[in-house]
Amino acid sequence: MKKLAIITVTVFLSIKAASADPDNDSLIINDDIQLVTETAAPIHLENLDTIYSGWRFRTDETQALQVDDFDNPAMVFVDKAIDLFNTIDGIEGKACVSCHESVAQFRGLSAIMPKVIDGELVVLESFINDHRDQVMGAEPWKWSGEKMQSMVALIGLQSRGMPVNVKIDGEARPYWEQGKEMYYTRFGQLQLSCANCHEDNYGKMIRADHLSQGHANGFPTYRLKQAKLISRHNRFRGCIRDTRAETFAEGSDEFKALELYLASRSIGLTVETPAVRQ
């Protein structure tokens, strides 16, 4: 009888390993950059011991697209952003490159965004549009538009491989608390919070989708489903919409706060931008 019990347990464990949980692959890009896809959860994260990059939950075929930059479809958009960086726009006759010598000088920026500047929580998109407005005298870009997300991806790429390290104390604290509150709030007719899927049930299948922990360290992400770069706020909107709730607007204070809290959950993982997902 005891033997039977042991066999049952073994079978149960092996099924679990096959269908759930992240896989054991490790992510090295271009045979060069080693990314951290698994590490101890930051101290403030009470309900998780280990955090895993969303890459670990994807199929081998999707994972392969991120291993070599030539195969990564997001790089087409990164190339376009390099052109945008050098293109004059607006009434001041300036391009990004007029002030910022090279995009490489933004190395490290995406690892510490969002952050509080002059008492206000700033995410990369609002940072870029502020510069376009105040310095270049140019029309702001649409939040989830191709130009904006290509630029966010290009700037994010400079920090690829660096650990996420957002500040959550001091001035950032109230925004972080607001984001945390949102993360655990049930939204919509389906009464689902972010945590219900991405904390309580990651590794399981939600219909055809393998639930990850919902880290945002690879955004903007090239989603195969949409065949373009997807912004963080677009994904927030998608998730909340799927709970059958009225969503917040892209670029709203709520989503900025959620972005900060989400980034703080990824502290210790590396910036993966631009990632490739299903």
Partner 1 sequence: MAKGVKPRVKVPKSAKAGEAIVIKTLISHKMESGQRKDKEGNIVPRSIIHRFTCDFEGQNVIDIILAPAISTNPYFQFEAAISHSGEFKFTWYDDDGEVYEEIRAINVT
Nearest CB to partner 1, comparing residues 33 and 206: 33
Nearest CB to partner 1, comparing residues 6 and 227: 227
> What is the signed CA dihedral for 206, 207, 208, 211, rounded to 10 degrees?
0
Which of the following is catalytic: 96, 194, 197, 239? 239
Q: Closest approach of Cβ 122 to partner 1, in Å?
A: 30
Nearest CB to partner 1, comparing residues 2 and 225: 225
Spatial distance between the Cα atoms of 91 and 133, rounded to a whole number of angstroms: 10
Q: What b-and-e string marks burial along 152-162, b requiring 16 or more CB atoms within 10 Å of the CB?
A: bbbbbbbbbbb
Nearest CB to partner 1, comparing residues 56 and 228: 228
CA pseudo-torsion sign 222, 64, 23, 267: negative
103 Cβ neighbours under 8 A, 6+ residues apart: 82, 85, 96, 154, 155, 158
User: Applying CB under 8 A, which residues contact partner 1?
Assistant: 70-71, 73, 76, 79-80, 227
Contact 217, 269 (CB under 8 A): yes
82 Cβ neighbours under 8 A, 6+ residues apart: 103, 154
Phi/psi for 246 (5° steps) reads -70, 130
In the block, which residue shows the tokens 């989603």? 223
Contact 145, 234 (CB under 8 A): no
Q: Closest approach of Cβ 80 to partner 1, in Å?
A: 7
| Whole-number CA gyration radius for the chain | 20
99 is catalytic: no
Tokens of 193: 């919070």
Say if residue 52 is exposed, middle or buried (CB neighbours under 10 Å; 0-12, 13-18, 19+): buried
Nearest CB to partner 1, comparing residues 76 and 205: 76
Nearest CB to partner 1, comparing residues 79 and 120: 79
Closest C-alpha to 168, from 156, 158, 157, 180: 180
Q: Closest approach of Cβ 156 to partner 1, in Å?
A: 20
Catalytic residues: 239
